[in-house]
Structure 1
């Protein structure tokens, strides 16, 4: 039995695991063409460090504006930083925030706006900048899913004031968990470094835990072993009617805040030279497959706009309505083909976030959550299997053989 992963992560090699030490932030800075990067233990930790630094620079502000449909860890990170999430509904049938609504909800309490590069697609950072700078707020880009993406030749994360990437499981480059934090100006960089020193501490127990998890990931991240590591827990959660657990959105309140061992950094540094060719391969595959999906009436698939060169961990698309989406997932989600959902709910609809985010009318975010699905962009998904997915989507969308 084979199981495809829901995202196109760069596979690690056993040779990446040999003993050694490296300063991964310096390697990554050269790779991205930026002056400086700060390594954190996760993208979530990077967000906590960044927001605490920003709040110290502008202590009268306490709200962080985020898309209403995003990773629940974003809300947890804001709460851990001692701040309040302010939700912005999405634009109709799009992952970006509604620009007009964004302008309405920002005020003198806004510390930061967080445009989010979902699925490696480049968000409209300029709209956030225009609003943020009118109110004296920062723009912190959530590029957790977009390592390697660019706008007009410039890395995402530097389009706004600051940004962060994730090096978690299934990402383009992984340490099992890790994060990268970057800023455009030296004032923010210095503030981030000071915030790191105050927030992040060594933890030998977490070092060993993450090391063992990274070894396990290296061994299991392949179609022959993913049925055990990924497929079995997925099917168990779906059988229990728990889609939140099925996609791994069931987060607890604790956010680990610790240093990253030199050995895990060395693993990442050894894999890094393979990342650019891997991203080029997955991009070429995605361009071809986006074109095929667009032949299916009723399907919206998200692509690069002019000047953008996104990363492609998976393909993000919507169907006309929830019933059609669910019809497709009934066949595809448990078939081992790398078809999944991204975030199950708009943020207020996660039970464990009810004390953190306000329940407000969010029609577009809730509709996007109800109509969207993802298709892995892993090179392990061959053309014949991808065509099977397309035919299932066509039937679900009512297109039949017309596609």
Structure 2
């Protein structure tokens, strides 16, 4: 009998690409479609969300050279401090509010001063950070906010989209995100002068690189073919389980990052793929939001578990905070290597990554370490059907009851 790969759910609910996305007419440039949807006057495309952050910070620093520090949450993607350093700046870590992913306002205010260039409020898993408070603290110190909406394209706070609530915002179009061109990032600002400066910086530091772009084109073609229930086992599941068998948690989570990450222009073909798929993004977000709302009641019954939720966010996955590290690890021991899209968001708080080295503020972030130790994620992909979701819930409940 022919080999038939097993179905696998991805760790996040990304918009699947179609064959028609790879060729044909383009309705409008990807940046124009994104800007119109987000309600901004323009959007700039970079080769990754990390590159977009680097461009933004490099530009800001050139106009405030005495300010060299960037305040970031102590629990976030390790690429954030790498981007800060790539921009020639110093990351200053800010501890979280207890039991939450957002920066503690008092700790943020204490971290900001005359050397602060920017504050990076960060939305995680479609859940919204408090950008209003971050704006107030940053502006009081003479700094700007650079809103990290890498995981929140399409999330709203009231009538405005995440990413447009601060002075500057950026989004990720990486593999598994709501809209993907395999690697890409959008950079936005309400200030026309900053948008012009960002464009000049990008032309200077993100040159055309045919080898990198050819690689991304091949990867995007593979992504379009394999981002399917029966293709993900090959592209995601096997490497993840192989890393877990080696006890390589960073490899399982895809967190072996290089400080010399690419900075290059995105070619026309990948831009056109994103533009053709863009019209399906809003209804996809609506569908996954409806699915999340239908599944939240089951998660809410799990004793001692916090399920993060808010109005207006997107739902690429559910973010759960378990009672303690032992319980979280016991759940992951049974489910991470399964095909049900259970994973960890980030393996460590930022001070826990050896390749990042020491960072200002990193010796006093207990809440970030606690959050990293107790969180796990469950995919909200439509490919995790109801029986599989119920199985995930039953495993978590069984572990909780046995403790």
TM-score range, shorter chain: over 0.9
SS in 2 for 1:85: strand
Partner of 1:243 in structure 2?
249
Partner of 2:379 in structure 1?
376
Residue among 271, 274, 288 paired with 2:277: 271
Residue among 27, 34, 37 paired with 1:31: 37
Q: How does 1:1-400 map to 2 (within 5 A)?
A: 1-18=6-23, 23-304=29-310, 308-355=311-358, 359-398=362-401
Counterpart-to-counterpart distance in 1, 2:402 and 2:201: 53
Provide Cα deviations, 1:164-196, integer angstroms capped at 9, x if missing partner: 000000000000000000001112212211211
Counterpart-to-counterpart distance in 2, 1:194 and 1:55: 14
Query: More deviation in 123-132 or 286-295?
Result: 286-295
Alpha-carbon distance, 1:356 to partner: 5.4
SS in 1 for 2:280: helix
Provide Cα deviations, 1:375-403, integer angstroms capped at 9, x if missing partner: 00000111111111111111222279xxx
2:288–2:380 Cα contact (<8 Å) kept: yes
1:43–1:180 Cα contact (<8 Å) kept: yes
1:365–1:327: structure 2 CA closer, same or farther, 3 Å change rule? same
Partner of 2:3 in structure 1?
none
2:30–2:275 Cα contact (<8 Å) kept: yes
Number of residues paired by the alignment? 397
Counterpart-to-counterpart distance in 1, 2:381 and 2:400: 24
TM-score (normalizing by structure 2): 0.96
Structure 1: gaps spanning 5 or more residues: none
Root mean square deviation, CA, Å = 1.3
Alpha-carbon distance, 1:3 to partner: 1.1
1:8–1:376 Cα contact (<8 Å) kept: yes
Alpha-carbon distance, 1:2 to partner: 1.4
Counterpart-to-counterpart distance in 2, 1:55 and 1:252: 23
2:74–2:362 Cα contact (<8 Å) kept: no
Provide Cα deviations, 1:84-109, integer angstroms capped at 9, x if missing partner: 00000111110000111111111100
SS in 1 for 2:327: helix
2:67–2:115 Cα contact (<8 Å) kept: yes
TM-score (normalizing by structure 1): 0.96
Counterpart-to-counterpart distance in 2, 1:252 and 1:55: 23
SS in 2 for 1:398: helix
2:40–2:189 Cα contact (<8 Å) kept: no
1:117–1:123 Cα contact (<8 Å) kept: yes
Counterpart-to-counterpart distance in 2, 1:100 and 1:214: 43
Query: More deviation in 73-82 or 152-161?
Result: 152-161
Counterpart-to-counterpart distance in 2, 1:231 and 1:157: 31
Alpha-carbon distance, 1:358 to partner: 5.9
SS in 1 for 2:146: strand
Counterpart-to-counterpart distance in 2, 1:129 and 1:32: 19
